[in-house]
Amino acid sequence: MTQFEDKYSEYRKAFEEILTEFCNKLNCKPKILSESLKYSLQLGGKRVRPVLMLAAGELLGINRKKLLNFALALELIHTYSLIHDDLPEMDNDDFRRGKPSNHKVFGVGNAVLAGDGLLNTAYSILLRECFNGEENVSAAKYICDCAGISGMIAGQSADLLHENDGEVDEDILNFIYENKTAKLISAAVVTPSILCGGKFYSELSAFGRDIGFLFQITDDILDVEGSFENLGKSVGKDNAEGKYTEVRLYGLDGCKLKADLLTDKCLKILESFDGDTEFLRELTYFVRQRIN
Ligand code: GRG
Protein backbone atom coordinates (compact mmCIF):
# COMPACT_ATOMS: atom_id res chain seq x y z
CA MET A 1 0.00 0.00 0.00
CA THR A 2 1.17 3.54 -0.72
CA GLN A 3 1.29 6.12 2.05
CA PHE A 4 -1.86 7.69 0.54
CA GLU A 5 -3.74 4.37 0.53
CA ASP A 6 -2.67 3.73 4.12
CA LYS A 7 -3.96 7.09 5.26
CA TYR A 8 -7.19 6.74 3.25
CA SER A 9 -7.94 3.41 4.89
CA GLU A 10 -7.11 4.81 8.32
CA TYR A 11 -9.67 7.63 7.88
CA ARG A 12 -12.15 5.22 6.36
CA LYS A 13 -11.76 2.76 9.22
CA ALA A 14 -12.25 5.51 11.81
CA PHE A 15 -15.43 6.54 10.06
CA GLU A 16 -16.74 3.01 9.54
CA GLU A 17 -16.38 2.26 13.25
CA ILE A 18 -18.96 4.91 14.09
CA LEU A 19 -21.10 3.85 11.13
CA THR A 20 -21.08 0.23 12.31
CA GLU A 21 -21.97 1.35 15.82
CA PHE A 22 -24.87 3.35 14.35
CA CYS A 23 -26.07 0.38 12.29
CA ASN A 24 -25.81 -2.03 15.23
CA LYS A 25 -28.03 0.21 17.33
CA LEU A 26 -30.73 0.49 14.65
CA ASN A 27 -33.74 -1.31 15.91
CA CYS A 28 -36.74 0.00 13.98
CA LYS A 29 -40.20 -1.43 13.94
CA PRO A 30 -41.07 -2.89 11.53
CA LYS A 31 -37.77 -4.66 11.07
CA ILE A 32 -37.75 -4.12 7.30
CA LEU A 33 -37.02 -0.44 7.94
CA SER A 34 -33.76 -1.19 9.78
CA GLU A 35 -32.89 -3.75 7.13
CA SER A 36 -33.37 -1.37 4.23
CA LEU A 37 -31.36 1.40 5.94
CA LYS A 38 -28.52 -0.96 6.79
CA TYR A 39 -28.56 -2.50 3.32
CA SER A 40 -27.63 0.78 1.62
CA LEU A 41 -25.32 2.04 4.35
CA GLN A 42 -23.31 -1.16 4.44
CA LEU A 43 -23.03 -1.78 0.70
CA GLY A 44 -19.69 -0.01 0.77
CA GLY A 45 -18.91 2.99 -1.34
CA LYS A 46 -15.75 5.03 -1.24
CA ARG A 47 -16.71 7.12 1.83
CA VAL A 48 -15.00 10.01 0.13
CA ARG A 49 -16.99 12.69 1.98
CA PRO A 50 -16.14 11.41 5.50
CA VAL A 51 -12.52 10.89 4.43
CA LEU A 52 -12.34 14.46 3.12
CA MET A 53 -13.86 15.74 6.37
CA LEU A 54 -11.40 13.89 8.59
CA ALA A 55 -8.46 14.94 6.42
CA ALA A 56 -9.49 18.63 6.41
CA GLY A 57 -10.04 18.39 10.19
CA GLU A 58 -6.53 17.02 10.69
CA LEU A 59 -5.09 19.83 8.57
CA LEU A 60 -6.81 22.32 10.87
CA GLY A 61 -5.77 20.48 14.02
CA ILE A 62 -9.28 19.49 15.15
CA ASN A 63 -9.81 16.54 17.45
CA ARG A 64 -11.26 13.80 15.24
CA LYS A 65 -13.96 12.96 17.80
CA LYS A 66 -15.53 16.40 17.22
CA LEU A 67 -16.06 15.53 13.57
CA LEU A 68 -17.34 11.97 13.55
CA ASN A 69 -21.03 12.75 14.07
CA PHE A 70 -20.90 15.39 11.33
CA ALA A 71 -19.24 12.86 9.02
CA LEU A 72 -21.94 10.31 9.90
CA ALA A 73 -24.74 12.78 9.16
CA LEU A 74 -23.14 13.69 5.83
CA GLU A 75 -22.78 10.07 4.72
CA LEU A 76 -26.40 9.37 5.75
CA ILE A 77 -27.54 12.30 3.60
CA HIS A 78 -25.37 11.13 0.69
CA THR A 79 -26.74 7.58 0.96
CA TYR A 80 -30.34 8.84 1.05
CA SER A 81 -29.66 10.84 -2.13
CA LEU A 82 -28.33 7.75 -3.90
CA ILE A 83 -31.35 5.64 -2.89
CA HIS A 84 -33.76 8.29 -4.17
CA ASP A 85 -31.67 8.97 -7.27
CA ASP A 86 -31.89 5.28 -8.26
CA LEU A 87 -35.71 5.24 -8.11
CA PRO A 88 -37.63 4.60 -11.36
CA GLU A 89 -38.98 8.17 -11.43
CA MET A 90 -35.50 9.64 -10.96
CA ASP A 91 -32.43 8.09 -12.59
CA ASN A 92 -33.96 4.60 -12.67
CA ASP A 93 -30.90 2.50 -11.90
CA ASP A 94 -31.16 -1.15 -10.89
CA PHE A 95 -27.66 -1.32 -9.46
CA ARG A 96 -25.67 0.64 -6.91
CA ARG A 97 -22.27 -0.19 -5.47
CA GLY A 98 -22.34 -3.46 -7.40
CA LYS A 99 -25.56 -4.74 -5.82
CA PRO A 100 -29.26 -4.36 -6.64
CA SER A 101 -30.49 -0.86 -5.78
CA ASN A 102 -32.48 -0.42 -2.59
CA HIS A 103 -35.85 -0.36 -4.42
CA LYS A 104 -34.98 -3.56 -6.31
CA VAL A 105 -34.59 -5.37 -2.99
CA PHE A 106 -37.21 -3.70 -0.81
CA GLY A 107 -39.63 -2.16 -3.34
CA VAL A 108 -40.14 1.48 -4.31
CA GLY A 109 -42.25 2.43 -1.28
CA ASN A 110 -39.72 1.07 1.20
CA ALA A 111 -36.85 2.71 -0.69
CA VAL A 112 -38.58 6.10 -0.47
CA LEU A 113 -38.98 5.52 3.27
CA ALA A 114 -35.36 4.37 3.66
CA GLY A 115 -34.18 7.62 2.05
CA ASP A 116 -36.57 9.66 4.21
CA GLY A 117 -35.41 7.78 7.29
CA LEU A 118 -31.73 8.45 6.58
CA LEU A 119 -32.36 12.15 6.00
CA ASN A 120 -34.43 12.47 9.17
CA THR A 121 -31.84 10.67 11.23
CA ALA A 122 -29.05 12.84 9.82
CA TYR A 123 -30.96 15.93 10.94
CA SER A 124 -31.50 14.42 14.37
CA ILE A 125 -27.74 13.77 14.70
CA LEU A 126 -27.00 17.35 13.62
CA LEU A 127 -29.60 18.72 16.02
CA ARG A 128 -27.97 16.88 18.91
CA GLU A 129 -24.62 18.39 17.91
CA CYS A 130 -26.17 21.86 18.28
CA PHE A 131 -26.08 21.44 22.07
CA ASN A 132 -22.27 21.52 21.86
CA GLY A 133 -21.84 25.21 21.10
CA GLU A 134 -22.44 27.91 18.52
CA GLU A 135 -19.85 26.68 16.06
CA ASN A 136 -21.64 23.33 15.96
CA VAL A 137 -24.93 25.11 15.25
CA SER A 138 -23.32 26.94 12.30
CA ALA A 139 -21.73 23.74 10.99
CA ALA A 140 -25.02 21.83 11.24
CA LYS A 141 -26.85 24.63 9.42
CA TYR A 142 -24.20 24.68 6.70
CA ILE A 143 -24.64 20.96 6.02
CA CYS A 144 -28.46 21.31 5.98
CA ASP A 145 -28.23 24.19 3.49
CA CYS A 146 -25.89 22.25 1.20
CA ALA A 147 -28.29 19.28 1.21
CA GLY A 148 -31.50 21.28 1.00
CA ILE A 149 -33.61 23.35 -1.35
CA SER A 150 -30.79 25.78 -2.08
CA GLY A 151 -28.37 22.91 -2.53
CA MET A 152 -28.53 19.28 -3.59
CA ILE A 153 -32.32 19.19 -3.96
CA ALA A 154 -32.24 22.29 -6.19
CA GLY A 155 -29.55 20.65 -8.32
CA GLN A 156 -31.54 17.45 -8.68
CA SER A 157 -34.69 19.44 -9.47
CA ALA A 158 -32.89 21.35 -12.25
CA ASP A 159 -31.43 18.07 -13.53
CA LEU A 160 -34.94 16.60 -13.84
CA LEU A 161 -36.32 19.77 -15.40
CA HIS A 162 -33.69 19.94 -18.12
CA GLU A 163 -33.10 16.26 -18.86
CA ASN A 164 -34.87 16.38 -22.21
CA ASP A 165 -33.59 19.77 -23.39
CA GLY A 166 -32.21 19.63 -26.93
CA GLU A 167 -29.23 21.84 -26.20
CA VAL A 168 -27.00 22.10 -23.16
CA ASP A 169 -26.68 25.55 -21.62
CA GLU A 170 -23.42 26.10 -19.75
CA ASP A 171 -24.94 28.20 -16.96
CA ILE A 172 -27.66 25.65 -16.28
CA LEU A 173 -25.11 22.84 -16.33
CA ASN A 174 -22.92 24.69 -13.83
CA PHE A 175 -25.95 25.27 -11.62
CA ILE A 176 -26.77 21.55 -11.67
CA TYR A 177 -23.20 20.41 -10.96
CA GLU A 178 -22.59 22.95 -8.24
CA ASN A 179 -25.80 22.11 -6.39
CA LYS A 180 -26.33 18.42 -7.10
CA THR A 181 -22.77 17.32 -6.41
CA ALA A 182 -20.31 20.02 -5.38
CA LYS A 183 -22.17 21.47 -2.39
CA LEU A 184 -22.31 18.25 -0.38
CA ILE A 185 -18.66 17.49 -1.14
CA SER A 186 -17.78 21.04 -0.21
CA ALA A 187 -19.62 20.64 3.10
CA ALA A 188 -17.16 17.88 3.97
CA VAL A 189 -14.21 20.29 4.01
CA VAL A 190 -16.00 23.47 5.12
CA THR A 191 -17.54 21.84 8.22
CA PRO A 192 -14.15 21.45 9.99
CA SER A 193 -13.34 25.08 9.18
CA ILE A 194 -16.61 26.29 10.72
CA LEU A 195 -15.96 24.14 13.78
CA CYS A 196 -12.72 25.96 14.43
CA GLY A 197 -13.99 29.49 14.00
CA GLY A 198 -13.69 29.82 10.21
CA LYS A 199 -9.99 29.01 9.86
CA PHE A 200 -9.11 28.82 6.12
CA TYR A 201 -12.83 29.17 5.33
CA SER A 202 -12.48 30.76 1.90
CA GLU A 203 -9.65 28.44 0.84
CA LEU A 204 -11.55 25.32 1.92
CA SER A 205 -14.79 26.55 0.30
CA ALA A 206 -12.95 27.10 -2.99
CA PHE A 207 -11.16 23.75 -2.72
CA GLY A 208 -14.45 21.95 -1.89
CA ARG A 209 -16.25 23.54 -4.83
CA ASP A 210 -13.49 22.69 -7.30
CA ILE A 211 -12.97 19.12 -6.12
CA GLY A 212 -16.79 18.72 -6.17
CA PHE A 213 -16.93 19.82 -9.81
CA LEU A 214 -13.98 17.58 -10.58
CA PHE A 215 -15.82 14.69 -8.94
CA GLN A 216 -18.89 15.24 -11.12
CA ILE A 217 -16.85 15.59 -14.33
CA THR A 218 -14.96 12.38 -13.63
CA ASP A 219 -18.36 10.78 -13.02
CA ASP A 220 -19.38 11.88 -16.53
CA ILE A 221 -16.13 10.58 -18.01
CA LEU A 222 -16.60 7.25 -16.23
CA ASP A 223 -20.10 6.94 -17.63
CA VAL A 224 -18.44 6.81 -21.06
CA GLU A 225 -15.18 5.00 -20.32
CA GLY A 226 -15.86 3.11 -17.09
CA SER A 227 -17.10 -0.44 -16.57
CA PHE A 228 -19.94 -1.94 -14.55
CA GLU A 229 -17.39 -4.13 -12.75
CA ASN A 230 -15.48 -1.13 -11.41
CA LEU A 231 -18.35 1.29 -10.91
CA GLY A 232 -20.96 -1.13 -9.58
CA LYS A 233 -23.67 0.73 -11.50
CA SER A 234 -24.88 0.94 -15.08
CA VAL A 235 -22.67 2.79 -17.57
CA GLY A 236 -23.49 4.61 -20.82
CA LYS A 237 -26.82 5.84 -19.46
CA ASP A 238 -26.05 9.55 -19.81
CA ASN A 239 -25.53 9.28 -23.53
CA ALA A 240 -28.36 6.79 -24.11
CA GLU A 241 -30.80 9.07 -22.31
CA GLY A 242 -29.43 12.33 -23.74
CA LYS A 243 -28.62 13.55 -20.21
CA TYR A 244 -27.39 17.03 -19.42
CA THR A 245 -23.65 16.48 -18.98
CA GLU A 246 -20.28 18.10 -19.61
CA VAL A 247 -19.52 15.34 -22.12
CA ARG A 248 -22.43 16.52 -24.25
CA LEU A 249 -21.28 20.12 -24.00
CA TYR A 250 -17.49 19.79 -24.41
CA GLY A 251 -16.96 16.24 -25.75
CA LEU A 252 -14.86 13.63 -23.95
CA ASP A 253 -11.52 15.30 -24.65
CA GLY A 254 -12.88 18.69 -23.61
CA CYS A 255 -14.03 17.14 -20.35
CA LYS A 256 -10.65 15.60 -19.67
CA LEU A 257 -9.00 18.94 -20.25
CA LYS A 258 -11.44 20.61 -17.88
CA ALA A 259 -10.79 17.89 -15.28
CA ASP A 260 -7.02 18.56 -15.58
CA LEU A 261 -7.57 22.29 -15.15
CA LEU A 262 -9.72 21.72 -12.07
CA THR A 263 -7.06 19.39 -10.66
CA ASP A 264 -4.47 22.15 -11.07
CA LYS A 265 -6.81 24.66 -9.44
CA CYS A 266 -7.30 22.39 -6.42
CA LEU A 267 -3.54 21.87 -6.08
CA LYS A 268 -2.92 25.61 -6.32
CA ILE A 269 -5.42 26.31 -3.53
CA LEU A 270 -3.69 23.74 -1.34
CA GLU A 271 -0.41 25.64 -1.73
CA SER A 272 -1.88 28.48 0.32
CA PHE A 273 -2.11 26.35 3.50
CA ASP A 274 0.72 26.31 5.98
CA GLY A 275 0.05 22.73 7.17
CA ASP A 276 0.76 19.35 5.59
CA THR A 277 -1.53 19.09 2.55
CA GLU A 278 0.09 16.00 1.01
CA PHE A 279 -2.95 13.77 1.63
CA LEU A 280 -5.40 16.29 0.12
CA ARG A 281 -3.06 16.69 -2.89
CA GLU A 282 -3.05 12.92 -3.39
CA LEU A 283 -6.81 12.81 -2.89
CA THR A 284 -7.22 15.36 -5.68
CA TYR A 285 -5.21 13.11 -8.04
CA PHE A 286 -7.25 10.15 -6.81
CA VAL A 287 -10.52 11.90 -7.78
CA ARG A 288 -9.08 12.84 -11.20
CA GLN A 289 -7.86 9.30 -11.90
CA ARG A 290 -10.56 7.31 -10.16
CA ILE A 291 -12.06 4.26 -11.83
CA ASN A 292 -14.96 3.86 -9.41
C1 GRG B 1 -32.40 12.50 -4.93
C2 GRG B 1 -32.32 14.70 -3.67
C3 GRG B 1 -31.69 13.73 -4.56
C4 GRG B 1 -30.46 14.01 -5.00
C5 GRG B 1 -29.68 13.12 -5.84
C6 GRG B 1 -26.41 12.43 -5.50
C7 GRG B 1 -27.41 12.76 -6.52
C8 GRG B 1 -28.41 13.81 -6.19
C9 GRG B 1 -27.48 12.12 -7.65
C10 GRG B 1 -26.55 11.03 -8.00
C11 GRG B 1 -26.20 11.22 -9.41
C12 GRG B 1 -24.76 11.20 -9.56
C13 GRG B 1 -24.20 10.02 -10.24
C14 GRG B 1 -24.01 12.20 -9.16
C15 GRG B 1 -22.55 12.20 -9.39
C16 GRG B 1 -21.77 12.40 -8.20
C17 GRG B 1 -22.11 11.41 -7.21
C18 GRG B 1 -22.86 11.94 -6.08
C19 GRG B 1 -21.73 10.14 -7.35
C20 GRG B 1 -21.93 9.12 -6.34
O21 GRG B 1 -21.14 9.39 -5.23
P22 GRG B 1 -19.90 8.47 -4.84
O23 GRG B 1 -19.09 8.14 -6.07
O24 GRG B 1 -20.64 7.17 -4.38
O25 GRG B 1 -19.19 9.11 -3.71
P26 GRG B 1 -20.17 6.04 -3.36
O27 GRG B 1 -20.95 4.83 -3.78
O28 GRG B 1 -18.68 5.85 -3.49
O29 GRG B 1 -20.57 6.54 -2.01
Ligand 1 midpoint to CA 9 (Å):
21
Ligand 1 midpoint to CA 232 (Å):
13
Cα(164)–Cα(60) distance, integer angstroms: 44
Mean pLDDT of 84-100: 95
Question: pLDDT digits over 32-45, tens only?
Answer: 999 999 999 999 89
Q: What is the DSSP string of 69-115?
A: HHHHHHHHHHHHHHHHHTSTTTT--SEETTEE-HHHHH-HHHHHHHH
Instruction: Band the pLDDT of 166: cuts 50, 70, 90.
Output: confident
Question: pLDDT digits over 50-62, tens only?
Answer: 999 999 999 999 9
Amino acid of residue 47? R
Average pLDDT for the chain: 95
The answer to whether the pTM exceeds 0.75 is: yes
Q: Under the phi-then-psi rule, with left for phi > 0, alpha for psi from -120 to 50, and beta for the rest, what region is 167?
A: beta
The pick from 181, 185, 186, 230 for probing ligand 1's pocket by mutation, whose C-beta has the most ligand atoms within 8 angstroms, reads 181
